[in-house]
Structure 1
Amino acid sequence: MRKLIHYSFILLLMLTAYTSSEAQSSLYYLVREPKVKTANPPLLLLMHGVGSNEKDLFGLANYLDERYLIVSARAPFKIAEGSYKWYDLDFSTGVRRTNINEAEKSLQLILQFLDELQAKYHYDKQRVIVSGFSQGAIMSLCVGLTHPEKVRGIGVFSGRVLEEVVKPKLAAKDKFKHFEAFVSHGTHDGVLPVSDARNTKKLLESLQIKTSYHEYPSEHSISQANLEDFAAWLKGIK
């Protein structure tokens, strides 16, 4: 799952200028300051999938709205050098088993991290987008559906709803009046089936969340078309 992003201009991802910080923060991260300077910029938080790190999605910053403060966070649980996860997955019995305690811990760390970023960068609290790929997308849904007061919207690339975390804490429908979601998935995804995205769409619509839903003829990855659609959606967030 380390090679998540596949498109012809991938070499350009290495050109992004960034700074990093871990002191005084709950999560290690990379940050791209807004290219269009404002006192309170909108925030886009990016979260990688299992087995990757904060560098994986950070190259996307080159192709996204220049008004945004873009932060790419590293998951808290280490697998190996350069390899991290938001929670453990166990397939030893032939059935996927999720470490819910670790997922809950990651959720709390992300919420704390958002507060720390606010104190440091003074982002616009009304324009926060939390987004991720695969396990990072799952965590984006956990954040948005349980604490919509913290975010304006979510970007979900090839993810699913982690019901064990979301269901007990799901916010009331009236909390999502100004909430938006971007949900995308590959129809040939062999890691998380596209049915996961379709079920996510049903849940979001049942909460009357304005949802931009996209399917692509791709596998477990972010295609160029996917990125372009997300960039357009992000630019339209007011």
Structure 2
Amino acid sequence: MKHTSMAANEITSDDFTLQYLVREPKIKSSKNKAIVLLHGVGSNEQDLFSLADHLPAEYYIISARGQFTLGPGRYAWYNVDFSTGRPVIDAQQELSSRKIIREFLAQLKQKYKLDEVYLGGFSQGAIMSYSIGLTHPKDVNGIIAFSGRVLEDIQSSVTKNDDLPGLRVFIAHGVQDGTLPVHYARQAKTLLQNLEVPLTYHEYDMAHQINGEVLKDLGAWLKTE
């Protein structure tokens, strides 16, 4: 993803667990709805916020900054090591981010009086969205997973329950993805189908990225709730 600067409000209040950017709805709706976006490793809140003008105007678009600093303007939800040829995560950091994001969602719901929340992200942000949505499906109305995967401990621990069928999931993944190959998306698809989670699944002729076709399909999905 490329960074694009946009005018917005950056919240740095000590009352919130994460810094974030917000675009308020351009069109009033009968419900207060939000899309909360989580960036990938090494990026920041500006990245996915650059998609705001391509997302439905009736939603709050909120983009959060990961809690772990990797360098100037570079953040993560947890550290990950690819040196073995497969991603090895810092599990304690991932659990910490999961807890903080859930607290952040609760803060957003209270501040903006949100009726619906869709949690989504790119790469590591998609991973966090899966983890929170599948383990705490009452926290969100849906998951938006751009080029992500479901962590092994989530796959092995989540079982069918009465709340999961109320969770909607949108998956978008590139068949040329060399960072998180498309087999991760296909694993997630099988898992979600087995859990009877309502799923919309798309593969695209692209690499580890988000393109216009993805955003068009996401917009259509959001309108079919």
TM-score, normalised via structure 1 length: 0.89
Look up the match of 2:69: 78
Cα distance between partner residues in 2 of 1:37 and 1:166 = 38
Superimposed CA distance per residue, residues 175-216 of structure 1 (whole angstroms, 9 cap, x where no aligned partner): 122211000100000000100000000001111111110000
CA deviation after TM superposition for structure 1 residue 165, in Å: 4.6
Q: Deviations over 1:153-182 (max 9, x none)?
A: 1000000001225643x2643212221100
Distance 1:109 1:187, change over 3 A: same
Distance 1:154 1:171 in 2: 17
1:150 CA drift (Å):
0.8
Using the alignment, how far apart are the partners of 1:214 and 1:94 within structure 2?
25
Match of 1:224 among 200, 212, 223: 212
Measured after TM superposition, the shift of residue 236 of structure 1 is 2.1
Q: Is residue 157 of structure 1 aligned with residue 146 of structure 2?
A: yes
- Structure 1 residues 141 and 83, CA gap change in structure 2 (3 angstroms): same
Contact 1:39 1:122 in 2 (8 A): no
Kindly indicate whether residue 186 of structure 2 is the aligned counterpart of residue 198 of structure 1. yes
Decide whether the 8 Å contact of 2:17 with 2:103 is kept in 1: yes
Gaps of 5+ in 2: none
2:171 is paired with a residue whose SS is strand
Percentage of identical aligned residues:
44
Report Cα offsets for 1:23-48 as digits up to 9, x if no partner. 11101100011112357511110010
Q: Give the aligned partner of residue 48 of structure 1.
A: 39
Q: 8 Å contact 1:132–1:156 — kept in the other structure?
A: yes
Whether 1:186 and 2:177 are equivalent positions in the alignment is no
Q: Which amino acid in 2 is paired with 1:44? A: I
Distance 2:86 2:184 in 1: 16
Partner residue, 2:131: 142
Amino acid paired to 1:138 = I
